Structures are given as structure tokens and as C-alpha cells.
Amino acid sequence: MAAAAMMFAACCNKQEAATEVNTADMVMQNILNRKSVRSYNGDSIPADVMENLLRAAMAAPSGRDLRPWQIVVMTDKSQYETVFEGNFNMQKFMESGAVIILCADTTFTAPTRDNPDGPAVTQVNQMWRDDLGAVTENLLLAAEAYGLGACWTACYPYPDRMDPIKKALQLPSTVVPYAVVPIGYHDGTTQPKDKWDPARVHYNRW
Ligand SMILES: Cc1cc2nc3c(=O)[nH]c(=O)nc-3n(C[C@H](O)[C@H](O)[C@H](O)COP(=O)(O)O)c2cc1C
């Protein structure tokens, strides 16, 4: 009986290990297959898929767990000319299923570290850029997993890109549009780049 139980346990462990390997392979494949896709077929993105993309974005790590992100999802193409006027590639946006604007509140309100029992004060969050980079990459990886193409499109720190967005969307003064990500279904012709370069890796010292 004990032997059977042990065999069963060994068998389960093997299955678990096999599942883990498959999951690792799938995650690695997804990361390595991600690429910037700049042309789409115009199909809209189902609501449940969009919610999962946004869930992935918000699962990003965050300094002091402040989670400074705010996300604007745009699908109304009649607004694009006003919101994205400036030097964006408009064709990319018009062909996409949605354009996601990843924003950050650059401040946070809490008691200071010097006086943790004191009153809440508004402070500068020095890590919002790092957090938003992680949010953006999570979104791109989730898009890849759903067979969608996406392209990280810089917004911050360019005033000619940020200002029309801030104005058109009436963003609060402390909120910065960090990146704009068009997402859409595509023809699959864009290939990922192989960026692996062992010469960039330094073990223990340069
Ligand atoms: C911070 C950042 C800003 C970027 N801005 C733009 C942009 O404004 N327009 C664009 O077409 N691609 C932009 N990209 C995408 C890069 O051009 C792309 O990631 C790079 O060429 C590598 O290609 P890959 O994403 O297919 O691996 C940006 C990427 C990053 C990380």
C-alpha cells in the first residue's frame, strides 16, 4: 500500500514536473516571439480579451507597491486625429483594434517615511517611469499570447506627443501619458529579432 502510494506520488510529481516544463517552454516562447507589429487588419478586440490584457498590465511589479498607473483605452477612431495630433504614425493607430494609453500619476499621497504617524502629504513618486515600463512590457507580452500585434510607442518625454493627449483627454496635472500602444490582429509576417548576445553577460565581475 505504501509502495503504491509512493509510486502514485512519484507519478504525480513527474506529471507536475512535466507541466512545469511545458509552462516554462510556453512562457519562454511567448517572450522570445514578442515583436513590434506596426500594421493591423482593423478588427476590434473582444471585451474579455481586452480585460485580460489590462489585467496583465496591472500585474506589473511596482516600487513601494504604489501602482501609479492609469490606463485609457481608446477605440473611437473619430477622436484619434485630435488626441494623437503631432508626430505619431497615424496609419498604425487607424488600423489597430484599440489604442491603449499608459499613464502614470507622478505623485502619491501618504504619511512621509520620516513621520509615519503624521498627516498624509503629496509626494513625488520617483519610480513611476520604472513601473510604467513594466506595465507596458506586460501588456505587450499578453498581446503576443493572444496572437495580437502591438507596438510600444513613446509618448513621454516628448512634449509634442504628450501635450495634445493631456489636453484632449483632460488628464489631471500630475498624470503623464507615458506610452501609447496600438494593438490589433495582424498577418503574422513580422518576425521577432534574436537579441541573445552572451558577450553582454558578465558573471561575478565585468
Ligand atoms: C521606450 C521605447 C520607445 C519606443 N518608441 C517607439 C516609437 O515611438 N515608435 C515605434 O514605432 N516604435 C517604438 N518602440 C519600439 C522599438 O522600435 C522596438 O522595440 C525595437 O525596434 C526592437 O524591436 P522589437 O520590439 O520588434 O524587438 C519603442 C520601444 C521602446 C522600448
Contact present, 110 and 120 (Cβ < 8 Å): yes
The alpha-carbon radius of gyration of the chain (Å, integer) is 22
Going from the Cα of 35 to the center of ligand 1, the distance in angstroms, rounded, reads: 9
Mean pLDDT of the chain: 93
CA-CA-CA-CA torsion for 185, 190, 194, 195, nearest 10 degrees? -70
Assess whether the C-beta atom of 157 lies below 6 angstroms from ligand 1: no
CA separation for the pair 140, 184 (Å, rounded): 11
Scan for cell 484619434, then name that residue: 80
pLDDT of residue 17: 65
pLDDT value at residue 8:
43
Per-residue confidence (pLDDT) for residue 86, from 0 to 100: 86
Q: Angle 62-66-68 (CA atoms, 0-180°, nearest 5)?
A: 85
CA nearest ligand 1 atom 1, residue: 154
Report the nearest atom of ligand 1 relative to the CA of 179. 3
Residue 177, beta-bridge partner list: 103
Q: Is 160 in the pocket of ligand 1 (CB under 6 A)?
A: no
pTM: 0.91
Q: What is the pLDDT of residues 105-127, one digit of tens each?
A: 999 999 999 999 999 999 999 99
**pLDDT value at residue 47:** 98
CB of 154 within 6 A of ligand 1: the answer is: yes
Tell me the pLDDT of the chain (206 aa) as tens digits: 344 444 444 544 556 666 666 999 999 999 999 999 999 999 999 999 999 999 999 999 999 999 999 999 999 999 999 999 888 999 999 999 999 999 999 999 999 999 999 999 999 999 999 999 999 999 999 999 999 999 999 999 999 999 999 999 999 999 999 999 999 999 999 999 999 999 999 999 99
Which residues touch 4 (CB under 8 Å, ≥6 apart)?
A: none
Q: Give the model confidence (pLDDT) of 150-173 as tens digits.
A: 999 999 999 999 999 999 999 999
193 lines ligand 1 (CB under 6 A): yes
Residue bearing the CA closest to ligand 1, atom 21: 36
Distance CA 96, CA 15 (A): 41
14 lines ligand 1 (CB under 6 A): no
Distance in Å, CA 155 to ligand 1 centroid: 11
Q: Position of cell 508626430?
A: 87
Å from CA of 68 to ligand 1 middle:
22
